[in-house]
A = this chain, B = another copy of it.
Amino acid sequence: MRLSQYFLPLLKETPSEAQIASHRLMLRAGMIRQTAAGIYTWLPLGFRVLQKVEQIVREEQDAAGALELLMPTLQPAELWRESGRYEDYGEEMLRLKDRHEREMLYGPTNEELITEIFRQAVRSYRDLPKNLYHIQWKFRDEVRPRFGVMRGREFLMKDNYSFDVDKAASLVSYFRMFKAYMKTFKRMGLTPIPVRAATGPIGGDLSHEFHVQADTGESQLYFDSEIETLDENKLDPASPTVQDELLKWYAATDEKHDPAAFARVPEARRREARGIEVGQLFYFGTKYSAPMKATVAGPKGDTVAVEMGSYGIGVSRLVGAIIEAFHDEVGIIWPESVAPFRVGLVNLRPGDKECAEAGEQLYQRLMKAGIDTLYDEREESPGAKFAAMDLIGLPWQVVVGPRGLKQGVVEIKERKTGAKQELSPDAAVARLVGLR
Contacts and interface: CB of A to CB of B under 8 A. Distances in A.
Interface of A: 5-7, 9, 30, 33, 35-37, 39-44, 46-47, 50, 65, 67-76, 91-92, 94, 96, 98-99, 102, 104, 106, 113, 116-117, 120-122, 130, 132, 137, 139, 141, 143, 153-154
Given A6-B67, A7-B132, A113-B35, A74 B139 contact: yes
Contact of A69 (B47, B75, B121): B47
Number of copies: 2
A175 B238 CA distance: 58
A350 to B, nearest CB: 14
Contacts of A5: 65
13 contacts: A30-B121, A39-B72, A41-B71, A42-B69, A42-B71, A44-B67, A72-B137, A72-B154, A73-B73, A74-B106, A74-B139, A98-B141, A98-B153
Closest 7 CB pairs of A and B: A9-B121, A96-B96, A42-B70, A36-B76, A91-B99, A39-B72, A41-B71
Q: Name, among A37, A72, A99, the residue most crowded by chain B CB atoms within 10 Å (CB to CB).
A: A72
Contact of A43 (B7, B37, B42, B69): B69
Contacts of A76: 35-36
Nearest to A36: B76
Nearest to A91: B99
A47 B135 CA distance: 11
Contacts of A40: 72
A65 B44 CA distance: 13
Nearest to A97: B96
B41 A73 contact: no
Nearest to A42: B70
Contacts of A7: 67, 69, 121, 130, 132
A282 to B, nearest CB: 21
Contacts of A33: 117, 120
Given A35-B76, A113-B35, A70 B50 contact: yes
